[in-house]
Each structure stands twice: as C-alpha cells, then as structure tokens.
Structure 1
Amino acid sequence: MMKSLISALFLGLLAVPATAQAQSGAPVTGEILTGWQQADGTRVAAIKLTLAPGWKTYWRSPGDNGIPPHFDWSGSSNLGGVGITWPAPSVFRTGGVRTIGYANELILPITIAPRSSGKPVTLHADLDIGVCSDICVPQQLSLRATLDTTSRNPTPSIAAALAARAYSASEAGVKSATCSLRPTANGLEIETRLNVPSAGGREVVVIEPGQPNMWMSETDSSRNGRHLTAIGDLSSTNGGALAIDRSAILITVLGEKHAVEIQGCTPG
C-alpha cells in the first residue's frame, strides 16, 4: 500500500503557460514549448523538463517506489481539452528497485483543443512531480504560455518526442491479449498473456487498471517465443470490492528496441 500512500500525498497537477521556471541549484526546471497549429484547429505544444546531472523523473506509471506525475490545467483560458503523448520511458534498476521514467530531459507532447477555435489559448500548467538522484523529492512547477501561432510547421524536438511514443498493438503485430483473474487474500492476481513479437532485451510489462481506486503491483514477466506472460497483484486503495473492466486495462511492454501499448484484454 506504500505506493497508494505516496500517490495520495502527491495529488497535484499540470496547468499551462510558456515561461520557463528556473531556480538556482534546482534538480529540475520546466518550460512550455509553444509548438504549432494543426489544420483542424487543434494545437500541438509540449512540456519540457530539464533535469540536473544524475537526476531522473517519472513516467505516468512510475513503479512501486516512484512518484506519479500529476497535472492541473485549471488556470488556463480558452482550453477545451488536453491530450498527453508519453514518449517511451526507460527502466531504471538501482539496488534491486525498479522505477520507470526519464533522465536528462523530457519533452512531453500535448495536444490542445481550444474552446473557441481560431483564438489563442493561454496555457497554465501546475505540475506535481517526483525527481530522484540518491534521494527522491517532490517538485512543484507552475508554467505559463500563450499559444497563438498560426504556423503549421512542426517543432523538431516535439515531433521527435511524438515519434518516440509506444507502438500501438496493430503496429507491433499483437495477435492476442488475454487477462485471467484469481482471488487472493488482498485482492486479485492478474495474469496477462500476450502474443506479440519481442520488443528487445529484458522486457518489462506494466499493467494499468484504467479505473480509480485500484493499486497495481509490478509484474513478473517471462517470454516463450511470441508469447509474453506477466503476473501481478491488484488491490483496492479504499477497501472496496474490485470490479474489473478488462476493456479499460492498459498493458505496456517496455523493451530495449521499442515499447508497445495494448488497450484492453479478453478473458483468458
């Protein structure tokens, strides 16, 4: 339950603006890259985090000992919706502990739908994130920017981050994805069986329940030819009963060559 306690402590979030936030000696600084406007009126921008040497920050599912990032956009104006595209993260193993995230720099693309098309968006992003070196500490960043460009020329750094996303199931050649559930003393054991080509090297499988008030452990995975199996534990963070919607489950395979995201699974 340690992860659920940590998550509760760091519920905060990303809002919006363009100015960089820099503090002397800070382990992380941030800014908004204003990006470009697409033909349909949506805008593509990015949050850029620059980490001090030896520091890293976390992916959306950071591992049992990580701090998940949270974003609050409520200070923005003319903002209809925000979508985040996560570049494939790295897996870090230190002292037997596995965490998932990014070192040196993270450019996190965001797709923005204006409430009123054709008008500027003032993006205000309040971020609560965790950063780690020898120790892990929470960091709060407040970033602001006005997105008013009419240029349709992609920003190279944002385009590169978009290209670094995980493959979809169809792009990766996934033939099937099943999930079987077994009751345990503390909840459920979930076992996923994936028919998918290798993503390279020592693969890590991350299972995200896709539903509130659920905690998912790290998984143990093994491969036999095209078949990748991963087993982990699900439990409730509020003591309630578990009702699993398999279509909401997101399975991510992290390999040395690429990552794969699989939305949903069938009973196994």
Structure 2
Amino acid sequence: MTLHPSWRTRLAILLLAWAALTAAVAPVAAQQDMADLVSIDVLDGGPSADGRYMGALHLRLAEGWKTYWRAPGDAGIPPQFNWHGSRNIADLRITWPTPEVFLTSGMRTIGYHDELVLPIEITPKTPGQPIRIKGRMELGLCKDVCIPSELRFDHRADLTAGRHPAIAAALAARPYSASEAQVRAVTCRLSPTPYGLKVSARIAMPSAGGEEYAVIEGDGTLIATETKSWREGRELVAEAELLPAANGPVAVDRSALRFTVLGTSHAVDIRGCTSG
C-alpha cells in the first residue's frame, strides 16, 4: 500500500517520538511517578432545570507538562475516552474550553497546561435515579518528552450538588458560537486529491485577534491534515485535506464539517459550510 505524503510525515514523527519515548520514559518514570505528572477527579455540578446533570473531568498537570485538545495538531496525541461501566447515561456531551496553540521546534500543537476542566453534560436514562460516571481517558503528556498515559475514573454523581465554580468557569471559557462571533458566511469548495478531498473554506468574520489559527475537523469517518490558514481582507481562508479513516470512498457532508478559529482575543466554533 502506498502512503499519502502527509501520512508518511506523520508516521516519521510518530517513529521519532517513539524512539525518544523508549529512550527517555524509563529515566523519567524512575525519577517521577506517573501519578505525580497528572491526576484526574470527577467534579459534581448538580442537576439542571431541564433534567440533565452537569459534571466534569478535572485534570491537574505537573508544572511544565501539557496535554492535548481534541484536534491536537500534526505532532499531538488526540485524547480518547471509554465510558464502559457508566450507568444511567442516555447521552453525554463534552464541552471543550478554548485551548492554547503551542509552537515547538517549528511544529504546532494545540492543548492545555497546568490543568483542564472538561465539562460533561449528561442526559440520564431515568431522571432522578443514581448516575455512575466510570471509564478511562487515554491522553498524551508532553514536556521534554511525550508520554502516553491512561487515567481511570469511577464516580457516583451527587444529584444534590449545586453549581460548581470550576465547571462554570470552564463553560464560560468555551469558544464563541458563529452568531456570537458575528460570522456572516462560511463557504467551502471541495476538490479531489489522489488520496482524499481538499477543503478550501472562506470564513467571513471579524478578526479573532492577532495571528489567527484555523482548524478543520471532519466527522468520525474522515481525518483532516493540519490546516493552513491566512487572512484575505474580511475573510479567513482555511485549507486542509480530508483523508478516510478506513479503506473506502471519501464522502463529505458539508454540514458535518467543523471549523475552529483560535485568536488572541477569543476563539470561534463554527459548524458546517455551504458550497462556494
């Protein structure tokens, strides 16, 4: 099988990271227990007026260490969640606070340092009955080296809890919606490539401040390469290639594409685009 050039680059990065990992993880682990690098707790935010329950995963990172956003950049490790063992959960929605952009050795990664409060809104199968939040989170931890880590949690929700200030702060730190950011239009043009489809999007919106970084995300069947973005007057242009996550044809639903713009003033979360 012939690998797409972007995948060859990604594979080379992963192999280099693995080589560094095997050389450096043992000394790091010997000097510092993994539990000293990151810890996880589940916070209670109590029930909402519409019958849902608000909780959060709270990660604390050792000084100088960082972890990654859901779309971590070409050199990052995307977090993965498994909720096996949870009880009385019909639906679960995560709200990601606005991440930071890190530039390391010329590579861009996106994530968080010090701590991460990740709000979780739960719709129970049976309102008023006990809720158990159990599972694991697989993530990357990076400082001088990158270490794959797995965190386990098991928490019985306190249905009598009140509003939690850390959860409220994390929700307030979410990116603006398209309407809040005064996005006027988002158009995207799709063009075939040897391995997938190129997405060229034009986002008509006021500046998010400073140098803006855009991130294009596909749905679960598509993986986007690192996004290139630049300003052309009142429009932000963003381009990426969408590749299939598994063997098969590439089909793109424009309404399922997600665009995040990260600026120095704020971030913007945009869902979908129209043909253009």
Q: Secondary structure of the equivalent of 1:158?
A: helix
Asked if residue 81 in structure 1 is aligned to residue 109 in structure 2, the reply is no
**Unaligned ranges ≥5, structure 1:** 7-22
- Please tell me whether the aligned partners of residues 220 and 245 of structure 2 are also in contact (alpha carbons under 8 angstroms): no
Q: For residue 67 of structure 2, what is the amino acid of its counterpart?
A: T
Normalising by structure 2, we get a TM-score of 0.86
Equivalent position of 2:123 in the other structure: 113
Q: In structure 2, what is the Cα distance between the partners aligned to 1:140 and 1:74? A: 14
Cα distance per residue 1:66-103 (max 9 Å; x no partner): 11111111211112221100001000001001000000
Aligned length in residues: 250
1:39 to 42, 49, 58: 49
Equivalent position of 1:164 in the other structure: 173
Equivalent position of 1:147 in the other structure: 157
- Which aligned pairs between 1:125-136 and structure 2 lie closer than 5 A? 125-136=135-146
Q: Secondary structure of the equivalent of 1:186?
A: coil
Equivalent position of 1:11 in the other structure: none
Q: In structure 2, what is the Cα distance between the partners aligned to 1:198 and 1:4? A: 35
**Unaligned ranges ≥5, structure 2:** 1-6, 15-32
2:213 to 194, 199, 204: 204
Q: CA deviation at 1:203?
A: 0.6
Q: CA RMSD in A?
A: 1.7
Q: Which has the higher contact order (CA 8 A, sep 6+)?
A: 1
Q: In structure 2, what is the Cα distance between the partners aligned to 1:255 and 1:50? A: 25
Q: For residue 236 of structure 1, what is the amino acid of its counterpart?
A: P
Normalising by structure 1, we get a TM-score of 0.89
Equivalent position of 2:224 in the other structure: 216
Q: Secondary structure of the equivalent of 1:26?
A: helix
Equivalent position of 2:78 in the other structure: 68
Q: Secondary structure of the equivalent of 1:171?
A: coil
C-alpha spacing 1:150/1:245, structure 2 compared with 1 (3 Å): same
2:258 to 235, 242, 250: 250
Equivalent position of 1:189 in the other structure: 198
Q: In structure 2, what is the Cα distance between the partners aligned to 1:149 and 1:246? A: 39
- Please tell me whether the aligned partners of residues 88 and 131 of structure 2 are also in contact (alpha carbons under 8 angstroms): yes
Q: In structure 1, what is the Cα distance between the partners aligned to 2:213 and 2:100? A: 10
